[in-house]
Structure 1
């Protein structure tokens, strides 16, 4: 086998032997579930759940974000996002302002209290992520990021090949200052 040869096309899974403990998707879901649960626990002192702290954080990172953009970036349906925003507004953390030029557009801003709560989210996420990476070396962390970014690119290429596939949100890894996890 020539080590300089182009790699063969990936064929790592077959339907007859696909088991969750060896599935990349299953494992990524398990990691995300753990990250969300731990972040929820730490942010519960502010009476926030993932469905609330994620939009709060994303609003804090983007000036003039709309409900539609927030739903798209959070991979949530607009109705779910509206319910989460209703709760955040009732808690006095978020303000919604209808555009004067297009009544369909609703812009989101944080109240002073919302800004104070949102400012705590990055440290909580950093602590939780660092806990999940606690025995990784710096090089392993960078390799993991590179591999996940490659999977995002591969997934986008697959989506573009299949016009029937559901549209995906723009990858947050490619957009500095965006994304929570």
Structure 2
């Protein structure tokens, strides 16, 4: 028998994935991604095209390594993605003048034009998903999400600290 819903909010003895906040968030993100991808297709953009173009255009990324980190994909996948974008004439890669190991990415005029469509589509998707929400409810939702993110980052930091071996102590037996 499950105890009443007091602290803690979840109990492993009667944990139901359908009631899980994490599961609901994952499903929500997947839904938003599907809707955004369908609407981006109307502009001739696939998921593997609009995300890197937008990240480059917004200044969040300027190198393949930054794209890999931001998109949470491996270097090989980034290289293949950049090959396709370069073939389509949406970006160019150049070696850094100061460090030849670093590749700089820049959008072409066509890439900038394609990237300009992305925030319009994303704003439309967000507005549609928030239909019926008041401005106050939207702010409250954002506040809750920020608190969840802060809690998650604290958990991640604590986990990283707990798994880091103390100085002078080997991490393997």
Band the TM-score falls in, shorter-chain normalisation: 0.7 to 0.9
- TM (norm. structure 2) is 0.82
The residue that corresponds to 2:39 in the other structure is 42
Query: How far is 1:160 from its partner?
Result: 1.2
Aligned residues: 158
Residues 1:33 and 2:30 are matched in the alignment: yes
Larger Rg: 2
RMSD, matched Cα: 2.2
Highest RCO, 1 vs 2 (Cα 8 Å, sep ≥ 6): 1
- Runs of 4+ residues over 6 Å off in structure 1: none
Gaps of 5+ in 2: 1-5, 164-173
Q: Unpaired runs of 5+ in structure 1?
A: 1-8, 167-181
CA apart distance, 1:164: 6.8
**In the alignment, which of 18, 22, 42 is matched to residue 15 of structure 2?**
18
1:79 shift after superposition? 2.2
Q: 1:152 to 1:10 in 2, by over 3 A?
A: farther
Q: Which residue of 2 is the match for residue 153 of structure 1?
A: 150
SS in 2 for 1:119: helix
TM-score w.r.t. length of structure 1: 0.79
Query: Bigger shift: 46-55 or 85-94?
Result: 46-55
